[in-house]
Amino acid sequence: TASSGLPVRVDLLTGHFDAINVQHKSTCMRDLQGVFSDDAARKALPEDFEVYHVEMLASPQQEGELHTGTTHLMPGKVADEFFMTRGHFHQRREQAEFYFGLRGEGILLLQPENAPAYTEQVFAGSVHHIPSFTAHRLVNTGHDVLSALAVWPVIAGHDYQSLQPDGFRIRVFDRDGKVSLEVAGV
Ligand code: 6PG
Ligand code: NI
């Protein structure tokens, strides 16, 4: 006879997993050197403040398998620039990814290797295809935690280096209470 196990649950309002084997990765202010346009302002903030954390289900580490994880990005700013993830290309550039907005309000920055950068609004229910060869970064433009569920190939890996020293061409600031997308070098 067939058997039926209890599946893992995710709370779709928060992205929290109810599973035995959840891994956590925390990124604090001290880890984000050089990420914000005003690094002196970043240094002046508490270094152990957690800007975002990722909770992930355990996945088999082999080609063809997929990671599933939720990023929780705090609201806040470094000077006038909204909190954001470090952002990355996948080490394996051809590997794509999906993001699903669960709560909060933000912007997904997308930067193809050989095409202009663009953005998508992130909100509860938003679905985002991150194409191959495209760097990606989440920005929290709201007053609450921004949480997004992601699914990506385990072989994708991260390349944080290729975006240095200037980072993404689009940056997101709070200018007098308005969300302002600003293109570097303009
Ligand atoms: C990935 C996903 C996602 C991402 C987190 C943290 O490829 O792993 O895009 O889980 O890692 O949102 O962002 P950073 O890796 O850029 O710090
Ligand atoms: Ni990714």
Give 166 or 121, the one with higher predicted confidence.
121
> What is the predicted pLDDT for the residue at 4?
82
Ligand nearest to the CA of 134: 2
ipTM at complex level = 0.98
96's tokens: 């794509």
For ion ligand 2, residues whose CB falls within 5 Å: 97
Domain boundary assignment for the chain? 9-183
Q: Tell me how far the alpha carbon of residue 46 lies from the centroid of ligand 2, in angstroms.
A: 27
Q: Is the pLDDT of residue 82 over 70?
A: yes
Homologous superfamily of 9-183: Jelly Rolls (2.60.120.10)
Q: Which residues pair with 171 in a beta bridge?
A: 182
CB 74 within 8 Å of CB 52: yes
Q: Tell me how far the alpha carbon of residue 147 lies from the centroid of ligand 1, in angstroms.
A: 12
pLDDT tens readout for residues 29-66:
999 999 999 999 999 999 999 999 999 999 999 999 99
Which amino acid would we find at residue 167?
G
CB 64 within 8 Å of CB 119: no
What integer best gives the mean pLDDT of the chain?
96
Residue that is written with structure tokens 């933000």 in the block = 106
Helix (H) or strand (E) holding 49: none
> What is the predicted pLDDT for the residue at 186?
59
> What is the predicted pLDDT for the residue at 2?
77
166's tokens: 């200037």
The Cβ-side half-sphere exposure at 115, using a 13 Å CA radius, reads 9
**pLDDT band at residue 166, thresholds of 50, 70 and 90?**
confident
